[in-house]
Amino acid sequence: MNQHEPIRILHFADIHIGMENYGRIDPETGMNQRVLDFVSRLKEIVDRAIEREADVVIFAGDAFKTRDPNPTYQRAFARQIMRLSRANIVTLLLVGNHDMPVIEQRASSMDIFATLDVPNVIVGREEKLHRIETARGIVQIATVPWPQRNRLLKYEEHRSMTIEQLDQEMERVLDNELQRLAGEVDAKLPAILTGHFTISGAVFGSERNVMLGRDTIIKLSSLRLEAWDYIAMGHIHKHQDVHQGNYPGVVYSGSLERIDFGEENEPKGFCWIEARRGDTQWRFEPMDSVRPFVSIYADATHDGDHPTDAVLRAIERHEVKNAVVRVRVKLLQHQEAALRTRAIEEALEDAYLIAGISRDVQRDARSRIGIQNPETLSPAMLLERYFLSRNTPRDRTDDLMRAARALMDADADQVN
């Protein structure tokens, strides 16, 4: 073993194979094209690990969209893991909330690799410290999978607890496990913790839109930072270092593909780690091949009878090739009929998918309030009509009107 070179580790997470939103069927494979996007990103990860001669690949959980993926998706994932196995790269597969069955005794979608004893593959189904020998030395990797509350219900004392009490108990149990793992670390060897849960202070992405299971939030201090050289996290889709540049990095690598427009401006990629005890370096590497999501906003209120021109100008300012695109147009009421949707679609012919063309129509006051002769109504009556036109709840409208009448009466007294 070469003890002088750092141990090379690639860290990624949250593939979610099976996401089909904003997708269409690929005629060659019969699969949803968005599913193929996610599979392609996984293939790129494996390509980079092999090209760079990684010693270890850490996958920090959530291989699939659902806990019971169909066989086609399982095959696509397994093909790439087998490539790593044949390249003699140790691959650690952490079990995330999307991989974990509802009932603890059932197999996870990762367990097949352990059952078949696939060479160089470790399944992280339990809290455990793994000692891994590589060509560049020994590295310790502790696995902390998704905290499963159902395991608490095996014990009589937990069955009468409320959900909030179970949350607190789960956090206590996990805190104890993290302390135990830290105590097992050999201080002479590089040590990495990989987990799939939420750390307090982390910034969420769009994962809450697809989350399975109730979240568990762990304090940063509970990780026993002094024991580790790097903490490889999964679960949150937005890449970030929760430790804010301090040692060790507490890093969510983020998801590999964008799920929706909430992740439009987020870079997607993986983390490359060079591990030494007390001197581990890491960097985030974005992937340029990720499917772009592009929002186009156009204000046509100054374009008179030609509102489409404003949209076409806005499209020219964006790179839309192969992107999922949505368009929102601000219009005056009289411009609505003049907007040419077909011309907008033609301008977006290079886009992968048009997610929608929405219209924000600024209707005039008479139309909004629903009357043709507002001059015939008193100020109080007009104000009440306005509140109702904004779908203000009746009780809230009554409160506002009482306050408005008091102000109007006070103004009238001052005038008199």
Query: What residue spans of 218-340 are helical by DSSP H?
Result: 307-316
Q: Can you list the positions of beta strands (E) in 125-186? A: 128-134, 137-144
What is the predicted pLDDT for the residue at 379? 81
What is the predicted pLDDT for the residue at 363? 72
Sign of CA dihedral 400, 406, 410, 415: positive
Domain boundaries, the chain: 7-286, 293-362, 373-415
What is the predicted pLDDT for the residue at 66? 83
* Bridge partners (DSSP) listed for residue 296: 327
State the fold for domain 7-286.
Answer: Purple Acid Phosphatase; chain A, domain 2 (3.60.21)
Give the pLDDT of the chain (416 residues) as one tens digit per residue: 445 799 999 999 999 898 888 888 888 888 889 999 999 999 999 999 999 999 999 999 999 988 788 899 999 999 999 999 999 999 999 998 887 765 555 677 888 898 999 999 999 999 999 999 999 999 999 999 988 766 554 555 555 666 677 778 888 888 999 999 999 999 999 999 999 999 999 998 765 554 455 677 899 999 999 999 999 999 999 999 999 999 999 999 999 999 899 899 999 999 999 999 999 999 999 999 999 999 999 999 999 999 999 999 999 999 999 999 999 999 998 899 999 999 999 999 999 999 999 999 987 655 555 555 566 677 887 888 787 766 677 778 888 888 888 887 766 555 54
Is the Cβ–Cβ distance between 19 and 256 less than 8 Å?
no
- Measured CA to CA, the distance from residue 284 to residue 271 in angstroms comes to 4
Q: Which amino acid is at 87?
A: A
What is the predicted pLDDT for the residue at 158? 57
What is the predicted pLDDT for the residue at 413? 57
Which residue, among 85, 92, 152, 148, has the nearest Cα to 120 in the 3D structure?
A: 85
Is the Cβ–Cβ distance between 330 and 300 less than 8 Å?
yes
Torsion of CA 344, 349, 350, 355, to 10 degrees: 60
What is the predicted pLDDT for the residue at 410? 67
What is the predicted pLDDT for the residue at 362? 85
Is the Cβ–Cβ distance between 122 and 130 less than 8 Å?
yes
What is the predicted pLDDT for the residue at 29? 81
Could you give the count of Cα atoms lying within 13 Å of 41 in the half-sphere of its Cβ?
A: 26
